[in-house]
């Protein structure tokens, strides 16, 4: 199947799942599929800058990366509809609910690092996409925490994808403008 067809089929599946909850991007009225297609766009452009990049797998993981965390999609469903490799990748990108909040990101990053570099690339692309102007109700502490977490992602995923690492580095720097105490 052509990459374009894989993109369309996967986008349709993921968009439908997130639409069942009427999920929007936090702080906006935009449907969640906007976030998913932005992550896939980062992956597509990064693939042009990366040798030996499994674009079809990475596109699927990018579009599906929040289905286990935010929708009623199951691991078995991802395995049957896509592949076990895709289901394992989405699972690694999903925070576990049975561990303390402070350990959730570190645990997810550890599981991501055990898989192929494309999975790390999707995590980088996800945070690049999310480092836009924060929702207005976020406190100074929350913004600072979000930037700190982005630095943790960048450090832990070192070597996953040079192009996206550089993009994330620049986004983290830009985000500093939101990390000032309110006066
Ligand atoms: Ni996401």
Domain ranges of the chain: 2-178
Ligand 1 mean position, distance from CA 9 (Å): 19
Ligand 1 mean position, distance from CA 52 (Å): 24
Residue among 9, 70, 77, 156 flagged as catalytic: 70
CATH architecture of 2-178: Orthogonal Bundle (1.10)
pLDDT value at residue 160: 97
Per-chain residues with Cβ under 5 A from ion ligand 1: 66, 126
Average pLDDT over residues 97-101: 94
Distance from C-alpha of 80 to C-alpha of 58, rounded to nearest angstrom = 17
The reported pTM is: 0.96
Strand partners, 31: 24
Ligand 1 mean position, distance from CA 66 (Å): 6
Catalytic: 69?
A: yes
pLDDT value at residue 180: 86
Q: How confident is the model at residue 155 (pLDDT cuts 50, 70, 90)?
A: very high
Distance from C-alpha of 108 to C-alpha of 104, rounded to nearest angstrom = 6
Q: What is the mean pLDDT of the chain?
A: 96
Burial readout 40-54 (b: 16 or more C-beta within 10 A, e: otherwise) = bebbbebbeebeebb
Ligand 1 mean position, distance from CA 28 (Å): 15
> How far is CA 44 from each of CA 108, 121, 145, 180, rounded to the nearest angstrom?
23, 11, 29, 33
Average pLDDT over residues 163-170: 98
3-state secondary structure of 78: helix
pLDDT of 183 > 60? The answer is no
């Amino acid at each position: 199947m052509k990459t374009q067809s894989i993109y369309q089929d996967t986008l349709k599946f993921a968009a439908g799942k997130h639409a069942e909850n009427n999920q929007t991007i936090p702080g906006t009225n935009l449907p969640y599929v906007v976030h998913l297609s932005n992550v896939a766009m980062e992956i597509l452009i990064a693939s042009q800058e990366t040798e030996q990049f499994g674009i079809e797998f990475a596109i699927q993981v990018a579009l599906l990366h929040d289905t286990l965390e935010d929708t009623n999609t199951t691991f078995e469903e991802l395995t049957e509809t896509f592949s076990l490799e895709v289901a394992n990748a989405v699972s690694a990108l999903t925070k576990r609910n049975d561990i303390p909040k402070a350990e959730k990101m570190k645990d997810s990053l550890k599981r991501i690092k055990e898989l192929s570099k494309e999975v790390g690339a999707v995590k980088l692309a996800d945070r690049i996409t999310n480092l836009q102007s924060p929702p207005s109700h976020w406190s100074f502490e929350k913004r600072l925490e979000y930037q700190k977490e982005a630095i943790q992602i960048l450090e832990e995923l070192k070597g996953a994808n040079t192009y996206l690492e550089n993009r994330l580095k620049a986004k983290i720097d830009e985000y500093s403008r939101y990390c000032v105490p309110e006066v």
